[in-house]
Amino acid sequence: MYLKIETQTSYEYLQKVVSVLQEPICILGGWAVYLTVNDNYKKNVGKEYLGSRDIDLGFHLDKNASEKEMKQSSFYLALKTLEKDGFELTSFRLVKHLDRETGKVLSQEEYVKKDQFDLIEMYVDLIVDNLPNGFKKTFKMNLIDETLLAPVFENPKNHITLTEFKKKLILPKPSLLLATKLKSLPGRDKEHKRQKDIYDIAALLLYAPKRIDGSELKQFLPTKSLKSIKQINDKEIEKTESSLGLQKNQFKTAVLALKKEIE
């Protein structure tokens, strides 16, 4: 999936990023899946679950927020803190360019001289639940907004709180995290991104602390969106079972059960 140095470096940067941000810090994406399933996965499979190459962080913004309120938000503080720490804003993402061999942060001059294979692009994606009308004018940037993030902040029952890296973190609860993966699957145009989503779907179905059923998912996504589970073909299921060290048909059985529950 990803080279070990990429996920290891990302994990180290996850710790660094968490250490400089204000609590509570909302983790999304691949690292949220890792933190959710790793204990059970490791117990059953005997190895660590897959890490992620990117770091996804979630923030709440009121959809009617004024410019002043936006500039007092946890999102703005995080953006400025990460820029101060050396991350460069590019479109909707923050990035640091690292030397693949040494992990050293590269200057712009060093970066342009490097071949792509000799680089690790350390991306941090800042994701909000709402985009206020004046957002782009205020920040001069594009940003990812994810409506499924709103329930995380609206109701404590929709998130899990844990202490990691000596900081208070919140994660979407497993069913909500799975909903985000099912929602994103149809739009994945890169094979490695799609396959990683499928790995994460399998891990959440099989190794979340509590079994996720279709009725939970229907709280967050309409049946039409949930039917993306049907897009996962037999070849992708077999690859997932082999790559994750699962028993034959273990993931397939979970997929079939979920299909029945959402119909």
118-139 pLDDT tens trace? 899 999 999 999 999 999 889 8
pLDDT the model gives residue 92? 83
CA atoms within 13 A on the CB side of 40: 16
Domain end residue (candidates: 172, 189, 220): 172
Collapsing DSSP states into helix, strand and coil, what is residue 166? coil
The answer to whether the bond into 24 is cis (omega within 30° of 0) is yes
CA distances for 136 relative to 1, 64, 71, 72, 214, angstroms: 35, 14, 12, 16, 37
Dihedral, CA atoms, 251, 207, 44, 202, nearest 10 degrees?
A: 30
- Report the pLDDT averaged over residues 35-51: 97
Q: How many domains does the chain have?
A: 2
Which among 94, 40, 43, 53 is positioned nearest to 207, based on CA atoms? 40
Collapsing DSSP states into helix, strand and coil, what is residue 161? strand
Give me 178's structure tokens.
């799975």
156 and 261 fall within a common domain:
no
127 and 64 fall within a common domain:
yes
Residue partners of 134: CB distance under 8 A and separation at least 6: 66, 67, 70
53 and 183 fall within a common domain:
no
Domain end residue (candidates: 140, 172, 204): 172
126 and 250 fall within a common domain:
no
pLDDT the model gives residue 1? 61
215 and 91 fall within a common domain:
no
DSSP3 helix / strand / coil % (the chain, rounded to 5): 55, 15, 30
Give me 100's structure tokens.
């693949």
CA distances for 263 relative to 96, 171, 218, 222, 258, angstroms: 44, 28, 11, 11, 9
Q: Which of the two residues, 101 and 220, has the higher pLDDT score? A: 220
Looking at the chain, the whole-number percentage of residues with pLDDT higher than 90 is 77
Q: Which of the two residues, 3 and 68, has the higher pLDDT score? A: 68
Residues of the domain holding 57:
1-172
186 and 154 fall within a common domain:
no
139 and 250 fall within a common domain:
no
30 and 90 fall within a common domain:
yes
Check whether 189 has a pLDDT greater than 80: no
154 and 233 fall within a common domain:
no
Collapsing DSSP states into helix, strand and coil, what is residue 126? strand
pLDDT digits (tens, 9 = 90+) for 163-178: 999 999 999 999 999 9
pTM: 0.94
